[in-house]
């Protein structure tokens, strides 16, 4: 894709910074329950993979306590992810521990675990949405980024079974230089297996993605990427809902400023709680609020993070670019 011209200021670009959509009231929690995964994707933001240890994953008891505490902590939505969350043996127990009368539950998976047995168990839990990651417009392109032959076929099979069982399925896809010109093929293929909801986003250079620059767009390219995504979403609007974060400035998307800590929180696989998953990945020590093994979730949330407050004093919208600079200088 050819460059479309540089932007003088980041906020004037067709950027895609804040991907969080906190609820109108209450908090959104992003909970990475494990970093173990059966895949080793090139764009993984957590360096997840089959060889990642689970010994540092937060124990079942404090995890269950936190799941039960979500409502008390004024959490309206919890988004469980990984790694691959279904590789955590107690994951379905964590789902069951959430008070779904007060908290909406979302799950992100690569689809491998959506076997008939797991689908039957999930049918008994009030899950708002299950998001399955599909990143290619065909088997070859998907399997390449997922670093596993057969991944596309396996994930599409799980999606098909879940859709047939009536589970609320959404597909999440990363837009890369390889597939940005094939978005119609991508969306059309998903429609053929019954997918009615898709979310598209680009790759951020954190985790393993930082080691694979071929998956990234330069800032001057983002205007053309934005146009491609918005155009594809419009063309398929009668067939499926295509969500994305393009076409608006970071400030306009984050009403009242960056939602980190105030309306968005992150729980890492080891039990660390932070204001934002992306900030935590940039500098865990600087943005850690506490750990589920040493305190209850409501108590941790009430703590102040001085690093974030210093950034907020200088940055009106997403603090990630400033945090990157802060990390280079040292906090």
The rounded mean pLDDT for the chain is 88
- Domain extent, residue 145, equals 27-325
Q: Which of 179, 197, 292 is nearest to 243 (CA)?
A: 197
The tokens describing 176, both together, are 């890369």
How much is the pLDDT for 207? 85
The tokens describing 218, both together, are 């330069």
Structural domain includes residue 178? yes
Is 212 in contact with 147 (CB distance < 8 Å)? no
Structural domain includes residue 3? no
The lowest-confidence range among 10-19, 62-71, 118-127, 315-324 is: 10-19
With H, G, I as helix, E, B as strand and everything else as coil, classify residue 250. Answer: helix
pLDDT digits (tens, 9 = 90+) for 139-160: 999 999 999 999 999 999 999 9
Higher per-residue confidence, 135 vs 5 = 135
How many beta carbons lie within 10 A of that of residue 129, not counting itself? 16
- List the CATH number of the domain containing 189: 3.20.20.70
Structural domain includes residue 16? no
Measured CA to CA, the distance from residue 205 to residue 217 in angstroms comes to 10
Confidence of residue 319 (pLDDT cuts 50, 70, 90): low
Structural domain includes residue 321? yes
The lowest-confidence range among 102-111, 206-215, 266-275 is: 206-215
Cis peptide before 83 (omega within 30 of 0): yes
Structural domain includes residue 18? no
Q: How many domains are contained in the chain? A: 1
Structural domain includes residue 5? no
Structural domain includes residue 44? yes
How much is the pLDDT for 310? 80
How much is the pLDDT for 11? 38
The tokens describing 86, both together, are 């279904």
Measured CA to CA, the distance from residue 100 to residue 231 in angstroms comes to 36
Is 194 in contact with 168 (CB distance < 8 Å)? no
C-alpha triplet 181, 187, 190: angle, nearest 5°: 140
Structural domain includes residue 256? yes
How much is the pLDDT for 256? 54
Please give the share of the chain, as a percent, with pLDDT higher than 90.
73
Beta bridge partners of 201: 174
pLDDT digits (tens, 9 = 90+) for 220-247: 999 999 999 999 999 999 999 999 988 7
How much is the pLDDT for 316? 64
How much is the pLDDT for 162? 96
């Amino acid at each position: 894709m050819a460059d479309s011209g540089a932007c003088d200021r980041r906020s004037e670009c067709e950027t895609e910074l804040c991907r969080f959509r906190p609820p109108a009231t209450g908090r959104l929690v992003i909970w990475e329950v494990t970093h173990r995964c059966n895949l080793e994707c090139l764009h993984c933001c957590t360096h997840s993979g089959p060889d990642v240890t689970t010994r540092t994953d937060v124990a079942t008891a404090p995890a269950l306590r936190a799941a039960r505490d979500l409502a008390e902590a004024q959490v309206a939505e919890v988004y469980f992810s990984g790694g691959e969350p279904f590789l955590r043996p107690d994951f379905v127990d964590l789902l069951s521990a959430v008070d779904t009368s007060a908290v909406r539950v979302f799950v992100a998976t690569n689809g491998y675990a959506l076997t008939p047995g797991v689908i039957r168990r999930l049918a008994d839990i009030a899950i708002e949405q299950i998001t399955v990651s599909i990143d290619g417009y065909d088997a070859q392109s998907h399997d390449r980024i997922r670093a596993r032959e057969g991944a596309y076929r396996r994930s599409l099979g799980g999606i098909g079974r879940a859709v047939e069982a009536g589970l609320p399925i959404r597909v999440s896809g990363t837009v890369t230089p390889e597939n940005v010109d094939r978005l119609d093929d991508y969306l059309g293929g998903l429609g053929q297996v019954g997918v009615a909801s898709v979310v598209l986003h680009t790759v951020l250079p954190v985790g393993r993605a930082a080691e694979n620059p071929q998956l990234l767009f330069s800032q001057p390219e983002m205007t053309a990427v934005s146009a491609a995504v918005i155009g594809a979403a419009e063309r398929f609007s009668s067939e499926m809902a295509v969500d994305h974060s393009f076409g608006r400035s970071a400030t306009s998307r984050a009403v009242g400023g960056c939602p980190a800590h105030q309306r968005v929180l992150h729980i890492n696989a080891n039990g660390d709680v932070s204001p934002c998953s992306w900030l935590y990945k940039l500098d865990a020590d600087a943005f850690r609020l506490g750990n589920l093994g040493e305190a209850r979730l409501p108590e941790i949330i009430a703590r102040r993070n001085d690093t974030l407050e210093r950034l907020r004093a200088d940055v009106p919208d997403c603090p990630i670019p400033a945090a990157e600079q802060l990390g280079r200088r040292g906090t």
